[in-house]
Amino acid sequence: MRPFIYFEEKVKQVMKKVFHLILTAALLCGTSTQALATSAEEAVEAFSILPMIRSVSVSPDGKQLAIVRASTKNGDYYIEIRQTKDLSKEPVKLGASKMLVSGVSWLNNEKISVSFRQILRDGARSYWVNQFAITDTDGKGGWLVPFQSKKNIRGYNIIDSLPNNPDEVLVEVDINNNFIPDVVRMNIKTGRTKTIMRGNTKRSGGFSADADGEIRTATGWNASEGTIDLFARKKGDENWQLIFQNSPKDRENFDFVGFNDENPNEIWVNANRGENTTGIYLYNLETKQYSDRLFGLESVDVGGVMFDRFGKSLGFSYTTKQPKRYFLDAEMKSIYQGIEDLFKGEFVSISSYSDDLNQLVIRTASAKNPGTYYLLSYQQKLNKIGDVSPQIKPEMLSNVKYISYKTRDGLKQKAYVTLPSTGKAPYPTVVMPHGGPWSRDVNIYDEWTQLLASQGIMVIQPQFRGSEGYGMKHWKDGDKEWGLKMQDDMDDSALYLVKKGLADKDKLAMFGWSYGGYSAFVASLRDNNIYQCSIAGAGVSNLDRINSTLNESRFLRELQRPTIEGISPVNHVDKVNIPILVVHGDIDIRVPVKHSREFVAKLEKLNKDHKYVELKDADHFSDTLFYDHKKEFYGEMLSWFTNKCNF
């Protein structure tokens, strides 16, 4: 085994000094009046247009590129297949007239899997579904849509592309319609399948394979003990070992993240193992022992282990202000260092690469760059593929700072602050809490914060207690604090900026989506309110109903549900004391539209100052917000801040 180290966060002491200086620098940067202001109409139009390029990926042999490109402002994406040896050659175009394309992945050098979306209408009920089709890259073959019929549309997930067996993939699908997924091996040329593992009530998901395509991990719900059980098995062994049980009472972070390419009976594990933050360990299925912590940081959780297509471990990932990488593989480390030197000031990622590393798809992004794709060939020739959103110019965008602030009860929290490039402090300010709440912000480029900043509005995104990524204590501190201490953290972020002279105390507002929308509901009815208005997008208003929306994963259903306790906004509409704009998609599955309709009905009955905007055929997540949705929503949002908050 290669030598490992327990990676200490050597930059921590330096960053502490930087945090003390950062707001002073922010004040200096924020008072610039050199940039030209962008009108509200210009901003709404530019930010409403869907990305012109959605993704770029290279075939395993490096000979072809697959580009998901927009044909209209509304997206209407199609797939371009280009030859890397001659990018100017007319491309093959696939999918535009057949489906609402959302993504593409390479299955081998000739076959791609195309993901597409479709609205299904079942009587009065409408909902978006994600589907997949397989086709040839030359455009001459037909479309294979597995597991679908006119009477039955089965969702499925490709869990392994089997690089050592290019004609087959492993798929997780409910093959016998018993609501428990199974694993099948599918021939991508013929569509023929062979079931290799039946799911059951004990092991009903979380299936993953080793480099040879053997299913070696699984998870399941243990009803008798009230735990989520994680299983694994030795190479070639039919017997499953119970490795870990996670319960609502303990709720630790524990994930299998892959197999050790140097020992097939060792599993990479990302877990707490008694520490506040997660770290990387190896678990040996033969000795049933864990290694020492091989990688970890004091202030943030580890993201995971990075692998190549064949399962070779390349290094570890984690996120502070932005995602970072710690490499074990010397070649990949050298490649990244060379690329990062080419793009100073940008966040650089290799989004796709050929097996021989001679063709690299590079994506750059920053606060002032929504994203740009390049192809680097043989580490010598760099070709620009295109900008993600060319209509959004750098002069319309603003810098983002990563700061620390203290809450009223003395906790230290992180936050992203987007400072307008026009105007001067103190700024009108919007607090924008993230969704989840079990998530965290990573602001490399953020459409909503930049839209507001283009209008001279400062935005703060607090990583309030209950956010993930900052250790177990910070995560669990949010339990049963919905609308309570979690809400205090958000208010305290605004008050911190007021104290520093950056925010105008008479021009404060809150806007959020999902859990952030819930927070905006709560913000509208707090006593001694610090805000002048709020905007609640796709927000939870009724805590008694939210359990029906936690169906995306067993983890959320079983582990998050016991933590959801606090203020239920729909029961306190009489306390609303500021104008509130409510926005919701009418076919939202994650947070049903009834949450907003109920709240708005009570606002109307009590004659509270409000406006309600319902977006037709929009689901909860951003990939179902199209140009017309965004143009309506963004226009209403900017108008609300101007007319109701006096921004």
pLDDT in tens, 622-632: 778 999 999 99
User: pLDDT digit string (tens) for 322-375?
Assistant: 999 999 999 999 999 999 999 999 999 999 999 999 999 999 999 999 999 999
Per-residue confidence (pLDDT) for residue 10, from 0 to 100: 40
Instruction: Say which residue, 638 or 143, is predicted with more confidence.
Output: 638
CB burial of 22-55 (b: ≥16 within 10 Å; e: otherwise) equals: bbeebeeebeeeebebbebeebbbbbbbbbbbbb
| Distance in angstroms (rounded) separating the CA atoms of residues 645 and 508 | 8
Give me the pLDDT at residue 6, please.
42
- For the stretch 273-332, pLDDT in tens is 999 999 999 999 999 999 999 999 999 999 999 999 999 999 999 999 999 999 999 999
Q: How confident is the model at residue 139 (pLDDT cuts 50, 70, 90)?
A: confident
| pLDDT of 118 strictly over 60 | yes
DSSP string, 147-194: TB-SS-B--EEEEE--TTSTTEEEEEE-TTSSSS-EEEEEETTT--EE
CA 286/CA 282 separation, integer angstroms: 12
42: pLDDT strictly greater than 80: yes
How far, in Å, CA of 533 to CA of 580, rounded?
6
> Is the confidence at residue 519, as pLDDT, over 60?
yes
Quick one: what percent of the chain has pLDDT higher than 90?
81
For residue 176, what are its two tokens?
């016998």
State whether residue 577 is helix, strand or coil: coil
pLDDT given at position 120: 79
Tally Cβ neighbours within 10 Å of residue 261: 16
Confidence of residue 552 (pLDDT cuts 50, 70, 90): low
| Beta strand pairing call for 427-431 and 458-462 | parallel
**Is the confidence at residue 150, as pLDDT, over 90?**
no
Q: What's the rounded Cα separation, in Å, for the pair 392 and 381?
A: 27
d(CA 531, CA 508): 5
Residue 177 CB neighbours (<10 A): 8
Number of helical H runs and strand E runs in the chain = 10, 35
DSSP string, 438-482: S-----SS-HHHHHHHTTT-EEEEE--TT-SSS-HHHHHTTTT-B
* DSSP H helical ranges for 31-159: 40-48
Q: What is the pLDDT of residue 157?
A: 87
Q: Average pLDDT in the 160-184 region?
A: 92
pLDDT tier at 145, thresholds 50, 70, 90 = confident
Q: Which of 147-151, 176-180, 493-497, 555-559 has the lowest mean pLDDT?
A: 147-151
Per-residue pLDDT band at 124 (split at 50, 70, 90): confident
Is 80 exceeded by the pLDDT of residue 548?
no
Task: With CA atoms as reference, report the closest residue to 74 among 101, 56, 111.
Answer: 101
Q: How far apart are CA 401 and CA 422, in angstroms?
A: 16
Structure confidence at residue 8 (pLDDT): 41
Please return the burial class of 500, using the count of CB atoms within 10 Å of its CB with bins 0-12, 13-18 and 19+.
middle
Mean pLDDT across the chain, nearest whole number?
Answer: 91
In DSSP terms, 126 is beta-bridged to 121
Residue 219 scores a pLDDT above 70: yes
Cα(35)–Cα(41) distance, integer angstroms: 17
Rg (CA), the chain: 25
